[in-house]
Amino acid sequence: MRLLLITLAFLACQPSKVEIKDNFTESITEDTSYSDQTPTEFGVIEEEDCDQIELGSGVCNIVLYDQNNNIWELHNHPNKIIILDFSTVWCYPCQVAGMKTQAIQDDYADDVIFVTLLIEGATGDPATLLDAQTWVTEHNVTTAPVLQASREYVLDPNGITGYLVGGFPTYVYLDKNLKIATAHTGFSEEYIRQVLNGML
């Protein structure tokens, strides 16, 4: 098991140093390039009884646009195990992992939602609709959500108003009560399936 975790750490991209703002939510103004669903807040929505600090913590809602430019909200999916996959387009292990997303989603479809949060595009800029659509096409993703994210919207070096991500891909597993069950950095399909089987 220890060897597997060390291997997972090597199968991850390290994030570049960037300035991360303290405020992870932002008001959205009327914009015709988006769907007609316009949330008042975007990203990780800070609430009184949520944080992302430790196992067993209840998580804040996440509100982002998906690959179809529709709003996706984390709290709209209770009673499912949710895998949050923090990935970037420029990260090779993320690309390899992306090819397995749909197979995992298909095998656990009754109990699991596999969600990819694309943090950055190929040049390190925040992920766009085109990045999300290209991701689903290149990785043959048909039913798993791929979200247009950014460091500003979902990451927090303290893990309080966002997620603490030390490398890409990072996986956070939420139980059916939207509480953090476990997390790891680096990709191994076998290990992901072991974790899911242990949670079912």
Q: What is the pLDDT of residues 40-73, one digit of tens each?
A: 677 888 776 776 777 888 888 899 999 999 999 9
What pLDDT is attached to residue 160? 67
Amino acid identity, position 158: N
What pLDDT is attached to residue 44? 80
What pLDDT is attached to residue 3? 38
What pLDDT is attached to residue 43? 80
What pLDDT is attached to residue 155? 84
Amino acid identity, position 15: P
From its phi and psi, is residue 152 left (phi > 0), alpha (psi between -120 and 50) or beta?
alpha
What pLDDT is attached to residue 1? 42
Among 196, 198, 194, 199, CA closest to 5: 194
Among 195, 180, 184, 183, CA closest to 11: 184
**How would you write the chain as a 3-class SS string?**
CHHHHHHHHHCCECCCCCCCCCCCECCCCCCCCCCCCCCCCCEEECCCCCCCCCCCCECCEEEEEECCCCEEEHHHCCCCEEEEEEEECCCHHHHHHHCCHHHHHHHCCCCEEEEEEEEECCCCCECCHHHHHHHHHHCCCCCCCEEECCHHHHECCCCCCCECCCCECEEEEECCCCEEEEEEECCCHHHHHHHHHHHC
Locus of tokens 């609709």? 129
What pLDDT is attached to residue 35? 44
What pLDDT is attached to residue 122? 94
What pLDDT is attached to residue 89? 97
Contact 188, 8 (CB under 8 A): yes
Domains of the chain: 2-199 (3.40.30.10)
Which residues of the chain are under the pLDDT cut of 70?
1-40, 48, 51, 159-160
Say whether the peptide bond before residue 15 is cis (omega within 30 degrees of 0).
no
Query: How big is the chain, counted in residues?
Result: 200
